Structure 1
Amino acid sequence: MTTLHQEHTAHGHSHGPDCGHDQVPHGDHVDYAHNGHLHREHGGHWDECEPDGHITHEAHEHRHGEGCGHAGVLHGDHIDYLHDGHRHAEHDGHWDDH
């Protein structure tokens, strides 16, 4: 799975540990959940950090939801759950790995 490089133009807010947005560990960097999408710092600007493709998280038996113990982050029209350093989103009866 790759991540699209899509610059978020006119993004005047600087994200950081105290900016008030949820931090989402993502590989070698941190994404910030902001207005239903994810931002990451890259080369002096902010990118939209969205996966390219559909990756099913195989053998994921845990059911995410309110009270499951994992942080939920608004992502577009659904909630992603932070689990083991990546995001899970429910999709067509299974969990996608973002």
Structure 2
Amino acid sequence: MTTLHQEHTAHDHEHGPACGHTPVPHGDHVDYAHDGHLHRAHAGHYDECEQGGHVAHDGHGHAHGRDCGHDSVPHGDHVDYLHDGHRHAAHDGHWDDH
């Protein structure tokens, strides 16, 4: 999975544990869900944190939904679910690993 480096310009809100946005652990950093996308602090600015390519989460038998017990994060035109330290999104009958 590749993360694209796309700076989110004019972002004057500082994300952190008490900022009010959902934290999303992502490898060696934390993304924050904000306005339908994910931000990550990087070198004095915030990046849009998006995966590159399609990565199916194989062997995922759990069906996410409103009452599944996992935090949901609005993300563009769909909802991701935080599960086991990463995000899952429904896609063509399976779950993608974000």
What is the TM-score of this pair, normalised by structure 2?
Answer: 0.99
Q: Deviations over 1:22-76 (max 9, x none)?
A: 0000011000000000000001100000000000000101000011010000000
Q: In angstroms, what is the RMSD of aligned CA positions? A: 0.4
Q: Deviations over 1:76-97 (max 9, x none)?
A: 0110000000000000000000
Q: 2:73 is matched with which residue?
A: 73
Q: Which runs of 5+ in 2 are unaligned?
A: none
Aligned identity (percent) is: 76
Q: 1:11 is matched with which residue?
A: 11
What is the TM-score of this pair, normalised by structure 1?
Answer: 0.99
Q: 1:20 is matched with which residue?
A: 20
Q: Which runs of 5+ in 1 are unaligned?
A: none
